[in-house]
Structure 1
Amino acid sequence: MTVTAPANASLAAPSGVYVICPTPFQADGTLDLASIGTLVEFQVSAGVAGLAILGFLGEAHKLSSEERRTVVATFVRCAEGRLPVWVGVRALGLAGAIEQAREAQELGATAVFAAPLDGASDAMQFEYYATLAKSVAIPVIIHDFPDSFGTEIKAEVVARLGREGGVGMIKMEEPPVGQKITRIRELAGDSMRIFGGLGGVYLLEELQRGAVGTMTGFAFPEILAAIYERFAAGDEAGAAAVCDKYCPLIRYEFQPKIGLALRKYIYMRRGAIACNAIRSPGMRIDDITTRELEAVVQRVGLAIDAPPLRF
């Protein structure tokens, strides 16, 4: 079924930093809805372009269906239209993906970013995304992250989705990111808007290759926003200077397996959430790692308990 988008549902040329938010839990593992409110206010103050929820950082795979619905509804309500909310979709098949995407749309999300089908052919991936896009009135974004999903989405498939499939955006996280961004742009032209990811580690290079922003988690999101804003204003040297200054922190925070724990700890210390609890399975940080993290934050000239900075 094709759904006609209402006039206010379209996203006109989205760009900038869409920060992937963690899902806050209380110490006993239950949802902390009050912390969703403080986290949203934090992100508004940080100057990001939008919120992305229920990705890997959002522990979506650890939530029940009812919890998932509650999280989406709470983020949308707390955002109050000040920031668009994009919602992650991952299912075993098309029916489940459509169900999740339609629920997100119903609750007020302005886009969904959808994981690929497991082990599907190029033709099946195209049909999956094209059909999903026809099933909702909000944009569908390709989530290209083969290191976590185990599925590669070829640049040719991405470009075809942009030209013919009604899917005009991608969150592209397949290293080496530069080469794939260039290839997609060669094949898709203006039909595909590319967002980076991977913790912001390659944000500057992604922008230089033609990305329009990033969708990623980082507990100092105002730094990524400053890099993007300088680059978008034509100040590439200024963007590089911010990137170079804070690269040690960006690098340290984006560690496989413990990145979520690092980010939740920083967000807790910065007052964005009340507790850094993670649901199992998930790796926690130890005291030595905590001291390392705090030392890196200090080394780049920041305070770990600082509110959002203004650049």
Structure 2
Amino acid sequence: MPLDETARGVYVIAPTPFHEDGRIDLASTDRMTDFFLQEAGADGMTILGVMGEAPKLDAAESLDITQRIIRRAGKAGIIVGVSAPGFAAMRALARGAMEAGAAGVMIAPPSTLRTDDQIVTYFKQAVEAIGADIPWVLQDYPLLFTVQMTPGVIRRIVQELPSCVMLKHEDWPGLEKISALRGFQADGSMRPISILCGNGGLFLDFETERGADGAMTGYAFPDMLAELVKLSRAGERDRAHDLFDAHLPLIRYEQQFGVGLAVRKYVLRRRGVIASDAQRKPGSTLGAKARAEVEYLLSRLARHDARAKLAPAG
């Protein structure tokens, strides 16, 4: 089904599994898709995002892995990151993904944008390029892209571009932005949109209380994120916060710039989701000390969450 403003729950940001020699690991890709959607309880996946190492894939690889995951996912919604330096490449991947059965695409702003008008104009041109019939996600990640989108600018984009149906909210601090956007919706000055949050789930405990519909991030325990969102939706506030608090040390460790993906892939490998924690070069790796720290965090987490009770590291 095409993505729309009613989307909620957890859309896992998926890494791209690689073999040690840099080839895409297709068997791990299948196993990862099954784990996220069938075991972890995710509502969908977002692929070819920042943590998917999308810039390291060529056009053919990007479309091939998109088609493979969509076929494997069945009815689950798959969102495809199509951000690119030029609109021709963005259009080709967006149209190819939708033809393969994607639910929608995600677009991030280039780091050169500075003024409000520049931001709005860019997304208008992006929609012209991919087609107004494709539902898309606005990625707001100023810490990485250095583009500051105020609530007012986001409202302009949503109002002027009807095919924008979701915000991937990754501002930091960003709780007030969620409240402002939901306020616009309440007073009728902005049409409803879905809001899913990133930042590794670092603020998800309160983001859901501010009106977010769930998470779009890639923490190594997406099953915890799905449980947290369900608890929050059911009004089980203390249980949701207790679960979040138990995972927070590992969430924080995984959120480190530069090595966060290495941590995430390491834990996913330890959980048996992917066969290797390799990244395609250039990429980061964990040293022996860092691996020991992650193992220590997992052992502490296992006292509260059995999902972290893993076999000894080999």
> TM-score with structure 1 length normalisation?
0.90
- Cα displacement string for residues 184-219 of structure 1 (whole angstroms, at most 9, x for unaligned residues): 223344523211110001001111111111110111
Q: Which amino acid aligns with 2:172?
A: P
Partner of 2:9: 16
Structure 2 regions of 5+ residues with no counterpart?
none
138 and 74 in structure 1: CA distance in 2 versus 1, 3 angstrom threshold: same
Partner of 2:172: 175
- Cα displacement string for residues 198-256 of structure 1 (whole angstroms, at most 9, x for unaligned residues): 00010011111111111101111111111100011121122111111221121122221
Aligned 1:195-274 pairs, distance under 5 A: 195-274=196-275
**CA–CA distance in 2 between the matches of 1:177 and 1:47?**
26
Aligned 1:94-133 pairs, distance under 5 A: 94-120=87-113, 121-133=115-127
Q: 2:157 aligns with which of 145, 155, 161?
A: 161
Question: Is 1:38–2:35 an aligned residue pair?
Answer: no
Answer yes or no: is the 8 Å Cα contact 2:4–2:166 preserved in 1. Answer: no
**CA–CA distance in 1 between the matches of 2:55 and 2:25?**
17
- Cα displacement string for residues 6-64 of structure 1 (whole angstroms, at most 9, x for unaligned residues): xx434461101111111001111111111110001111211111111111110001111
Q: Which amino acid aligns with 2:29?
A: I
Question: Is 1:61–2:55 an aligned residue pair?
Answer: yes
293 and 250 in structure 1: CA distance in 2 versus 1, 3 angstrom threshold: same
**CA–CA distance in 2 between the matches of 1:112 and 1:10?**
9
**CA–CA distance in 2 between the matches of 1:252 and 1:221?**
16
Q: 2:68 aligns with which of 59, 62, 74?
A: 74
Question: Is 1:144–2:145 an aligned residue pair?
Answer: no
94 and 153 in structure 1: CA distance in 2 versus 1, 3 angstrom threshold: farther
91 and 65 in structure 1: CA distance in 2 versus 1, 3 angstrom threshold: same
Q: Alpha carbon RMSD of aligned pairs, Å?
A: 1.8
Partner of 1:309: none
**CA–CA distance in 2 between the matches of 1:89 and 1:150?**
19
Answer yes or no: is the 8 Å Cα contact 2:4–2:165 preserved in 1. Answer: no
SS in 1 for 2:52: coil
**CA–CA distance in 2 between the matches of 1:63 and 1:236?**
41
Residue range with higher mean Cα deviation, 205-214 or 129-138:
129-138
Q: Which amino acid aligns with 2:27?
A: A
**CA–CA distance in 2 between the matches of 1:101 and 1:124?**
22
**CA–CA distance in 2 between the matches of 1:154 and 1:98?**
27
- Cα displacement string for residues 141-197 of structure 1 (whole angstroms, at most 9, x for unaligned residues): 001111111222222111122223111211011111112212222334452321111
Q: 1:89 aligns with which of 74, 82, 99?
A: 82
**CA–CA distance in 1 between the matches of 2:41 and 2:117?**
39
Task: Note the C-alpha offset of 1:128.
Answer: 3.1
**CA–CA distance in 1 between the matches of 2:249 and 2:161?**
40
Partner of 1:5: none
73 and 19 in structure 1: CA distance in 2 versus 1, 3 angstrom threshold: same
Structure 1 regions of 5+ residues with no counterpart?
1-7, 307-311
**CA–CA distance in 1 between the matches of 2:213 and 2:273?**
27
Q: Percent identity?
A: 37
**CA–CA distance in 1 between the matches of 2:309 and 2:263?**
11
SS in 2 for 1:223: helix
Q: Aligned pair count?
A: 298
**CA–CA distance in 2 between the matches of 1:136 and 1:98?**
11
> TM-score with structure 2 length normalisation?
0.89
Answer yes or no: is the 8 Å Cα contact 2:10–2:42 preserved in 1. Answer: yes
